[in-house]
Structure 1
């Protein structure tokens, strides 16, 4: 068994696509139209194009419990998911230059360094560097 798809809830797929490709550097893999103007929209890391796909899931627009959960995580400041990076400080500085807002600057916590940013699509995302 292996993980091939990771879903992240977004309220605007087009806005999320721009953020995740233009700011974070992900590559669009699949973009298939679905009913109701939704899309099966997946991205991959340019560093691991055969790795897990990130699905930009419009569930908060159609499933109230997903919206409630997403809102609760955001209000509490908890990350929805995390992305591993080689150098958190470098990624933080690069993303700040692109206008990304961080709620937690790079901080060492034991054997990792973490930072948390707002993806502008309803989620906090945590960056993690193993030290």
Structure 2
């Protein structure tokens, strides 16, 4: 083999090696996924605390922190890179929670305990949750 041919083979070898290593370098773990996992842990901790407070009579189900943390749980699951099935399950649970909150709010509104704007707000959030669920199922 001539010196020139050896040089060409060597260059091609380096190019092939660089090409093989490039995908490995670009497949670094996404640091945001670890952050999202930490968010998910906090969301679930907050929901457990709220549930404990509710069961102890220290808060009510219409506490807006429930819906805030339900939504944050879904957002964290989405950001963590969860599989489609896990995200759909989380969204289904979120829709059911929001529907329950809407039922409670409607009853409170009919008893003149809650203003109409609260009912409109929760109805909007139910529709929003249903849209998110439909979008994820279609993806």
Normalised TM-score (structure 2): 0.29
Give the number of the structure whose alpha-carbon radius of gyration is greater: 2
**Which has a greater percent of strand?**
1
Q: Which has the higher contact order (CA 8 A, sep 6+)?
A: 1
Normalised TM-score (structure 1): 0.30
**Which has a greater percent of helix?**
2
